[in-house]
Structure 1
Amino acid sequence: MTAEPEKPILDCREVLEEVYLYLDDECSDRRRGVIRDHLEECSPCLSEYGIEQEVRTIVHRCCSQEKAPDEVKARLRQKLSAIEQVSEIFSEVGERDR
């Protein structure tokens, strides 16, 4: 049986930088779990997350008829994926250096 690697611990700055990826479900399941765990344990971040979620709800209500072209969506997903991969590499390296 293989042991599952420990989830990295994020600080508040990292969580708030990634809250949009979390809200949009644009990060890996593992990263979502790490962010969710932090939000469940950190009142200030949870409060900030709640504010961000409310803003997204309002914007969605007001702008839900607007659609980005598929080409733009594809490019954005590709860039976000690359950013996420680099972020995960840096997180893993940081964990090893501790």
Structure 2
Amino acid sequence: MKQDCSNKRECLEMLQLILDGEATAEQKEHFLKEHLEECMPCYKNYHLEVAIRQLLKTKCCHEAPQQLVDDIKTKVIQNLSRS
């Protein structure tokens, strides 16, 4: 399994599309079944994003405020850029 992803930004964007339900079936299939099997950083990011979203759902009475979601995404992207 790769320890570094050469397409961090594109993978993060694809991850967001998948989790937001906006990715095509083919995109989702490729990313989840092929890319995550080979790329440890993306595997970790996927599970982190799922955990964050689940936490927000359980802690917030309603949808998470969009500003909070945007702030979290920005911080995740900044952290990925530093890796």
Q: Which TM-score applies when normalising by structure 2? A: 0.57
The equivalent of 2:46 in structure 1 is: 49
Pick from 24, 30, 36: which aligns with 1:28? 24
Decide which structure has the larger Cα Rg and report it: 1
The structure 1 segments of at least 4 consecutive aligned residues displaced by more than 4 Å after TM superposition are none
Distance 2:58 2:16 in 1: 17
Q: Tell me the secondary structure at the aligned position of residue 25 of structure 1.
A: coil
Is there any run of 5+ residues in structure 1 with no aligned partner, and where?
A: 1-9, 68-98
Q: Percent identity?
A: 33
Q: Measure how far apart 1:57 and its partner are.
A: 0.6
Distance 2:59 2:37 in 1: 29
Q: Are the aligned partners of 1:15 and 1:38 in contact in 2 as well (CA < 8 Å)?
A: no
1:76-95 mapped onto 2 (5 Å cutoff): none
Distance 2:59 2:17 in 1: 21
Is there any run of 5+ residues in structure 2 with no aligned partner, and where?
A: 1-5, 64-83
Q: Measure how far apart 1:13 and its partner are.
A: 2.5
Q: Which TM-score applies when normalising by structure 1? A: 0.50
C-alpha root-mean-square deviation of aligned residues, in Å?
A: 2.3
Bigger relative CO (Cα 8 Å, ≥ 6 apart): 2
